């Protein structure tokens, strides 16, 4: 089962920063998971929230899309970390699951501005929005449908992406088997309970998206070895 570091090794470094992604690589994570927004001057950046605030005055928040990259990178996330660009993260050459956070309209120009950065990179890209994933499938072969509710499941199955990332509440053995018969790989998110992860692995889950990278890497290390 693949271990996918949710926003990097977010328990050991500020989430969605270069330090968090580098730490995930050092620990041995198979993949990283990250979120992408767009700055006012059209640069894809890696950050989860759509707004940001100064540490000294958290009550006043600024929309990411209203700030230029230069303005955004003036914000100190923690320990001198800044919001990284998507390009700088992908230059680390770590397999990456990229979630496009944009949920509004029009989304096509937004996606088109991100796609050039993905060429030649080991990544899958997706969204909670089936329409966005449908568009991505026609322009980027490696897509992931991110499924949060039962009502979202069938629209994503109809799109037949290579990977479906299911909210942990949706995961069961029958569904995993069904998706496997359709040649769809199944990942689960966000799973931070080790016993739950082991149970899902026994059902056939292919990948687990977690905040606890170091702990979850023990899943594979602790497996009993088969006798020859």
Query: DSSP string covering the chain, please?
Result: -EEEEETTTTTTS-TTSHHHHHHHHHHT-SEEEEEEEE-TTS-EEE-SSSEEEETTEEEEEEEGGGS-HHHHTTS--STT--PPBHHHHHTT---EEEEE---SS--HHHHHHHGGGGTT-SEEEEES-HHHHHHHHHH-S-EEEEE-SHHHHHHHHHH--SEEEEEGGG--HHHHHHHHHTT-EEEEES---HHHHHHHHHHT--EEEES-HHHHTHHHHTSPPPP-
Q: How confident is the model at residue 222 (pLDDT cuts 50, 70, 90)?
A: low
pLDDT of residue 217: 92
Structure-block tokens of residue 24: 């995930």
pLDDT digits (tens, 9 = 90+) for 76-111: 998 889 999 999 999 999 999 999 998 677 899 999
pLDDT digits (tens, 9 = 90+) for 144-179: 999 999 999 999 999 999 999 999 999 999 999 999
Rounded (10°) CA dihedral 45, 46, 47, 50 = 40
pLDDT of residue 102: 80
Q: 222 or 216, which is more confident?
A: 216
pLDDT of residue 62: 95
Q: What is the pTM of this model?
A: 0.93
Q: How confident is the model at residue 228 (pLDDT cuts 50, 70, 90)?
A: very low
């Amino acid at each position: 089962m693949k271990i996918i570091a949710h926003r990097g090794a977010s328990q050991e470094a500020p989430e969605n920063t270069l330090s968090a992604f580098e730490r995930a690589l050092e620990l041995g994570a198979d993949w990283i998971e990250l979120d992408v927004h767009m700055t006012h001057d059209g640069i894809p950046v890696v950050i989860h929230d759509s707004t940001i605030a100064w540490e000294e005055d958290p009550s006043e928040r600024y929309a990411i899309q209203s700030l230029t990259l230069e303005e955004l990178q003036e914000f100190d996330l923690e320990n001198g970390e800044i919001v990284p660009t998507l390009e700088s993260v992908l230059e680390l050459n770590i397999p990456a699951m990229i979630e496009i956070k944009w949920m509004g309209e029009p989304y096509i120009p937004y996606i088109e501005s991100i796609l050039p950065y993905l060429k030649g990179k080991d990544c899958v890209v997706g969204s909670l929005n089936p329409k966005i994933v449908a568009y991505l499938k026609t322009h980027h072969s490696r897509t992931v449908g991110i499924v949060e509710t039962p009502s979202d499941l069938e629209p994503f199955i109809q799109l037949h992406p290579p990977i479906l990332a299911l909210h942990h509440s949706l995961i069961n053995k029958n569904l995993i088997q069904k998706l496997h018969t359709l040649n769809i790989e199944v990942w689960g998110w966000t799973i931070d309970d080790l016993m739950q992860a082991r149970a899902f692995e026994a059902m056939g889950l292919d990948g687990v998206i977690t905040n606890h990278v170091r702990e979850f890497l023990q899943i594979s290390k602790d497996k009993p070895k088969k006798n020859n």
